[in-house]
Structures are given as structure tokens and as C-alpha cells.
Amino acid sequence: MRKISLGEFPFYWRVAESGFDELPIRLPFSFGVQESLPYLVRRQFDQSDLDILRAMYCLDSNVGYLQESNSLGMAYARDLLRKITTLRHSSASAFSKHPTPRVLEIGCGGAVVLRSLASDHISCVGIDPSPIAIQAVQGTEIELISDFFPNQLNGQRFDFIFNADVLEHVEDPLDFLRVCGDHLVDDGLLLVSVPDCTRSIRIGDVSMALHQHLSYFDVESLKRVFREAGFADVSVEQAEYGGSLYAVGKKPRSRHDNEDPIGNHEQILDQFFQRASSSVSLLETLVKNALHSQMSVGMYVPLRALPYLGRDAELRELVSSIRMFDDTPMWRGKRIQQGLSRIEDFSQLIQNPVDHLFVMSLTFGEIIARKVASSLGSAVQIEELEALIS
């Protein structure tokens, strides 16, 4: 059966010292597939879930990584700018041919990418309902539409549309891409950046789960949804930094029929759900055994840990005793949700080690585990997620 429940785990929508009571503390989560897109891993959701997420997007939350205050997010932004610059100078498209192209960013958040583009003779428009976006464009020539896409665009068309970490949040990714195409000129380009879930889907890793992410793309499913939306010259590649995928498609001048990409997603999805159930059971057992042995337990990259801790009733109660570690400077001393430990950084781990450390990132796990081991040696038992479940 292509479904797995992760129970209820903490709902991340901001990192702060307090003030979480505007939204639920925990939400249920299940992975499944969408009947109309059976190759796509999907979060199971209903209208009440969508209402909660819509309320979150209108708050002064910090789920968007592309903000100047987030050093990790800025590294992603620099790589996105590199990709956009390459497209402007090398793609055979309206974006590269127009001397002063019109550009739209959907979900512009902190507008760090738009501000850079606006300084290079590009007419920039951003659309985002968050107060963060209003603050970010002050003092610039960027036009901001404080709303959800495509509201208030009134049929405007652009030479280039891009969005980073947006497609996985939308209810209907296929319809979203088609509407993006409606707002492109002929030969206009669409660039989408999403978390790369290829490895997680292959090995049955549920750490990719976030309540606000409704779709989980691998290389083939992202390519296929672009093609089904009618885009031509579709390409999908891994970003040079972090764990993202870049998909690019061009709006054709006439109807464009695409053949399906090669790939056996039926088997891949079956294996994901089988392996995911085993992965969750394994992590539940390891964490509970460590806690029952009176060991101090830590989780490095806590957002990746929480999906493993919501199915078991005992672990839901014990999660408050687990120390949380992350290298994002703006997160130090804050909480992901009330009832969870304050986030500590690497230096605090070294000063006050835990007995048992679970490193939960596939993208940066090896780097983190290596630096902890080089500083603490055998003083801490290190478990790296990918080594455990792959």
C-alpha cells in the first residue's frame, strides 16, 4: 500500500524563543501518492491543513531560507544567481534575447535574488503575501504584489519566471506550472528550484517530511510534471550547492507534445513505502534504546529528525529531553516549537558533548559527522542517518 503515517510531529513554521501559539504545535503527517500524478510522492492533506498553511504564509514567519539574515540561505541564493546568470547569457530564449527583460519571482520572500537582478538592468516583479517581502523591497525599484500567485497579475507576461522552494508547497503542482506558462511570453523561460528528494525516495528516508511541503520531487518526477505542463526543452539538474534540483523549461510558440521520460516509478514508489516503514522503526528503536540506557541524546539538523519521532507515543513524550544542534547561526538559542530544546551549535556540542548523537542530514551528514568525530573522537557515539538506513 502506497501510504505511511508518521503520526504527529512538531509543526515547524518559525524558529523563535516564544510566540508559537498562533498555529498548532503538532500536525499529523502521512506520505502517499496523488492519483492524477501517481509518480509523485505526496503529503496527504485536507482543507484544514491548507487553511493552516495559508495562514502561516501570511505571518512574519521564517520558513523561507533566502534571507540575508540566514547565512545558509545566502549560500543557496548565490548558487541560484549563478544558475540564472548562466541562463541569461546562454539560453536561446526571450530572457537572453531581450536587453532589459521582465522577470517575475513567485514567493520572493527576502528578495535577495531579485535585488541582485534589479541592479543589472532587469525589470523585476515579486509576488509574496508575507510581511518579510514588504520589508525586503523597501528602497528598491522592485514592484511587489503582496498576494498569492497569480492574484493581481492581471494577465501580465514575463520573459523569465522563477521560484525557489515554492513548487513543493502548492496544492496542484501541474496546474501551478501551467499558470506560470500562461504568464510567460513565447520562448520565455521558467526556472524552478525544489528540494532534491531523489536519494530519500530511493532509500526510504522520511527526514524530507515538512508539513508545508505537499510534494516531494526526484529528478524524473520533476522532469515529467514540467513536460505534462507543456514546456519544451526541459532540463533538470542538481544544484552545485546544497540539496536542490533546478528544472528549466521554455514556453513553446505552438502546442508541444512531450514523450514521457524513461523511468520505472511504479517500482520506485513501492520500494519507498516499504523501506520508509523499516527506516522509521529502526530509528525509533535506536533512539528509545539510547534514552532507556540513560544516555544523553542529541539530534544534529533537528528538522530532519522530527519526522522520525512522531509515530511512537513514548518518543513524542521524550522528544523534549533530546538536545538539538544546527549550524544555522540565527537559530542558536531558539526553538523550532514550544516544548522542544533550544537549538545549540557545534561549539556548544564540543563544550558539552552528548553520549549519543544522531546526524540526520543526507546532504551534509558526512561533513557534520566527520567534524564532530575529529573534535570529540570516541567521547560520543555518532550515528549517521544515511549509513543507518541505506
Q: Give me the chain's average pLDDT, please.
A: 92
Residue 334 is placed in which grid cell?
A: 531558539
78 in a structural domain: yes
- For strand 232-238 and strand 244-250, is the pairing parallel, antiparallel, or unpaired? antiparallel
Q: pLDDT tens across 109-163, in order?
A: 889 999 999 988 899 999 998 888 898 899 899 999 999 999 999 999 999 999 9
Angle subtended at Cα 93 by Cα 90 and Cα 99, rounded to the nearest 5 degrees: 80
Q: pLDDT tens across 296-336, in order?
A: 999 999 999 999 999 999 999 999 999 999 998 889 999 99
Instruction: State the Cα–Cα distance between residues 388 and 390, nearest whole angstrom.
Output: 6
What is the share, in percent, of the chain residues with pLDDT greater than 70?
Answer: 95
Query: Element (H or E) spanning 127, and its range?
Result: strand 123-127
Sign of CA dihedral 388, 236, 50, 149: positive
Residue 181's domain comprises: 71-265
Specify the residue for cell string 536587453. Answer: 99
150 in a structural domain: yes
145 in a structural domain: yes
155 in a structural domain: yes
Instruction: State the Cα–Cα distance between residues 191 and 222, nearest whole angstrom.
Output: 12
Question: What residue type is assigned to position 203 of the chain?
Answer: I
256 in a structural domain: yes
Average of pLDDT values for 286-291? 96
Instruction: State the CATH number of the domain containing residue 229.
Output: 3.40.50.150
In 319-381, where does DSSP find H-type helix?
Answer: 346-351, 365-376
Expressed in angstroms, the distance from the first to the final Cα of the chain is: 21
Closest CA to 20 of 28, 11, 7: 11
List, in sequence order, every residue forming a beta bridge with 9; answer none if it has no partner.
27
40 in a structural domain: no
Q: pLDDT tens across 345-360, in order?
A: 999 999 999 999 999 9
Average of pLDDT values for 75-85? 92
Please state the domain count of the chain. Answer: 1
Question: What residue type is assigned to position 344 of the chain?
Answer: E
320 in a structural domain: no
pLDDT at 132: 86
Which residues have a Cβ under 8 Å from the Cβ of 201 and sit 6 or more positions away? 41, 216, 218, 268, 269, 272
Question: What residue type is assigned to position 242 of the chain?
Answer: G
pLDDT at 64: 61
322 in a structural domain: no
Closest CA to 192 of 167, 160, 218: 167
